[in-house]
A and B are shown apart, each in its own frame.
Chain A
Amino acid sequence: MVPVVLQEVNKTYHLDAVDVPALVDVSLEIRPDCFTVICGASGSGKTTLLNLIGCLDRPDRGQIVVAGRSVANMSDDELSDFRARQLGFIFQNFNLLPVLSAYENVEYPLVMMRMPAARRRARVLALLDAVGLSDRGQSRPAQLSGGQRQRVAIARALATEPQLVLADEPTANLDSQTGAAIVALMRRMQREHHASFIFSSHDPLVQAEADDVVLIRDGRITHIERATARPALDA
């Protein structure tokens, strides 16, 4: 199934008396089981696009189909449930809950899904092991390095086995070495879990790992690169 289809999507922000078009007539199809990167300069609209795909915001016009479902007419609760089951999020600032341990952070989406405790435990331990943090499960986020926190965030994003994982500049707050390791980890996890990953990123490292690259400028998609062997693109 095609994980995301956007047709003629428009989004305008209203700042006082000024209208700022963030996306203009965006149409896009994300391929399944792919590592897709949305590239663009700051203010180009890539975060807005990611927010719309992630059902965190609604378009002014246009059609968005995620995991086979049109999200335009869903109620807020339906969208919440949909995100909980179908989508995973990785944030630039990791956004882990500071009062929960690494284990509990990964476990939390499964608690929301009311998964039985035994299954929950098995899955959390497997994910922590997969991201190389099996020995840091009881650590709070404040006790972890930036790279470790992002690993926890990746494990959390994959906990519910979503079809689609969205990552907003996931390496922006990491040094290049850690960033490279995180990208490699996400690539591996994407392949192992057969999920579609969509990033917004300036990072050439991320672009180098991508299957598809979507270039966006002034709210319009200017180029889609779907080749497996292609030159790296600068944002």
Chain B
Amino acid sequence: MSTVALALRNLLRNRRRSLTTLLAMIIGLVAVLLFGGYRSNIVHGMETGFVQASGHLQVQHTGFFLEGGDNPAAYGIANYARIIDAVQHDPMLAPMLAVVTPSLQLGGIAGNFSAGVSRTVIASGFVAEERNRMLGWNDYNVHSYARPLPLAGTSADTVVIGMGVARKLQLCGVLHVPECHSEAAAPIPTGGGAPADLIALSRQERGSAPTLAENRIEMLAATARGAPNVASLNVIEARNMGLKAIDDVYLGMHLAQAQRLIYGAAPPQVTSIQIQLQHTGQMPAARARLAELLAREFPGAPLQILDFRTLNPMFGQSIQFMNSMFGFIATLIGVIVLFTIGNTMSTAVVERTVEIGTLRAMGLRRSGIRRLFLWESALLGLIGSAGGVLLALVIAYFINHSGLEWIPPGYSYAYLILVRVWQDPALLFGSMLGLVIVTVVSAWWPANRASRMMIVDALRHV
């Protein structure tokens, strides 16, 4: 009869009490696992979204991120092709790379002047095929909302806009934008709404376009020399960009088109080189190697490396918020389990005082008594952990297949409510281990009290 077997028999002695204690532990663990799984899904989903959109690392002109977001002319990278080539051919970086691609961000005014409307947009110029490869990154197998952009293989003037932009430019009908209440398109005004020189530029640009279609817009941007430049663009799709703030200003275009708008006939530049890795875990090594490579191959170049966490402060803030919520819930449940187990074990010690005295009289050491009660508690923890994990997995399955949705604050479309329990081994095993530790810790004091009983007092106990 080993100590473990004796501990198990003692647990089975008072089944109702053991079951009540187990139930408290199981419910607590299920709550921790489900919230942890929900948190895990949000964190991994956000990370996947950011990495799909902008890669793990970006090489930018120093100062562009903080100061130069709307000034691509001053913060462009001229020799970006050489940098990309060096990165792709570096023997240490190459195995880690998924995509290395240039990107040019610019601000401007998009106008549907046939309807007499215009709005400010943030345009992103990219290589469509490479961007689509980036959008396919899904290292965590989360439910991905990214779809390839329909720009690959299209003419240089083809663009995609956010649904918010489409609504503002009154392109709802032709682009099939839902929840749209735009008025019927009005003819190009001769004055009033837009400046006369802008309308003239628009007419000039539209006149050079091969066809006049309802989905054509014009984009006005400032060139590197400060002069206005207009491009007539063919909107192929309006896409919900997820975040309303982005959806209302997004315009995606071919890199060549974006470069033509800013640099004209001058040598083209980009505002960032986006580097997507195979796995996020490779980021520190890749970053260190990239820094070394840039310093060696491009000494003195005003370049900086930024990771997606820096580029998207919302990611870190969201994780911090979710972690604090998770920590609060886990602590609360841990304290409840601590007191429940402590109470159960204290009651068991009082009830079995004579038994403790008998075992001590027979020669069991103090440590043996302590070990016996700690094992009882640990067994409760192990059984409770197993039960909690099983129940959490069953509930998670039903949640994940329920199709429940919600719209997070600031987002423009509904996300499925999903929980990643099985897919997050750190959460799963960490919570189990945490529960077992809490149960053992909570039994320590009663077990210690039992072990320090005076034998003669214990034997006299009624």
Contacts and interface: CB of A to CB of B under 8 A. Distances in A.
Interface of A: 51, 54, 56-57, 76-77, 80-85, 87, 89, 91, 93, 95, 97-100, 104, 107-109, 111-112, 156
Interface in B414-462: 454-456, 459
B70 interface: no
A164 B362 CA distance: 13
Contacts of B10: 99
Nearest to B11: A99
A97 B354 CA distance: 10
A80 B360 CA distance: 7
Interface in B1-43: 1-2, 6, 9-10, 12-13
Contacts of A57: 454-456
Interface in B354-369: 354-355, 357-368
Contact of A85 (B359, B361, B363): B363
Contact of B1 (A51, A77, A84, A108): A108
B6 to A, nearest CB: 7
A56 B356 CA distance: 13
Contacts of A107: 1
A93 B456 contact: no
A84 B363 contact: yes
Chain B contact residues, majority secondary structure:
helix
Chain A contact residues, majority secondary structure:
helix
A97 B355 contact: yes
A51 B363 contact: no
Contacts of A100: 1, 6, 9
Contacts of A87: 363
Contacts of A112: 362-364, 368
A83 B456 contact: no
A104 B6 CA distance: 10
Contacts of A51: 455-456
Contact of B362 (A76, A77, A84, A99): A84
A79 to B, nearest CB: 9
Task: Please give me the 3 A-B residue pairs with the lowest Cβ-Cβ distance, nearest first.
Answer: A84-B363, A99-B9, A95-B358
B6 A83 contact: no
A105 to B, nearest CB: 9
Contact of A109 (B355, B363, B456): B363
A76 B366 contact: yes
5 contacts: A77-B367, A82-B363, A83-B361, A84-B364, A99-B13
Contacts of B459: 56, 91, 95
Nearest to B354: A95
Given A83-B362, A100-B6, A112-B363, A93 B354 contact: yes
Contacts of B361: 54, 56, 83, 89
A108 B359 CA distance: 10
A99 B355 CA distance: 11
Interface in B153-169: none
Contacts of B360: 56, 80
A112 B360 CA distance: 11
A56 B13 contact: no
A7 to B, nearest CB: 21
Nearest to B3: A111
A199 to B, nearest CB: 16
Nearest to A76: B366
Given A100-B1, A104-B1, A83 B363 contact: yes
B348 to A, nearest CB: 12
Given A100-B1, A100-B9, A108 B362 contact: yes
A95 B353 CA distance: 11
